Amino acid sequence: MNIPSELQYSSNHEWIRRDDNTVTIGITEFAQDALGDVVFVELPDVGDTIAAGDSFSEVESTKSVSDIYAPVSGTIAAVNSLLDDQPELLNSDPYGEGWICSIEMTDPDELGALMSAAGYQELTAST
């Protein structure tokens, strides 16, 4: 399973890529594999304010519907509108073209609660 070392991870199977005060978020390869074929992604609205732990998106697959949770608090800065017409990008390229949104953080210290790639590897190995 691919777990890029430069990313951070949540226990809810989101990956986080930091760029200064903004983070880009998507779901991990582990998550997309568990979901099966993704058929719809409900994207948040740019400008929405969210708190860490809040559900801000839903991913619908052939198996189930899953909430996506914010790993940090902030404001939605960008959404991946490609997912409107190509939700399968979450399956085919979860760490690239399949990103969900970017958040302008209000409290970068919240990143300290996230896992490294090694920590996420340990979590998924026990699942």
Residue 126 binned pLDDT confidence (cut-offs 50, 70, 90): confident
Domain ranges in the chain are: 8-111
Residue type, 37: D
Residue type, 59: V
- pLDDT value, residue 109: 95
CATH number corresponding to 8-111: 2.40.50.100
| pLDDT tens profile 74-96 | 999 999 999 999 999 999 999 99
- Residues 15-31 have a mean pLDDT of 96
- Residues 18-41 have a mean pLDDT of 96
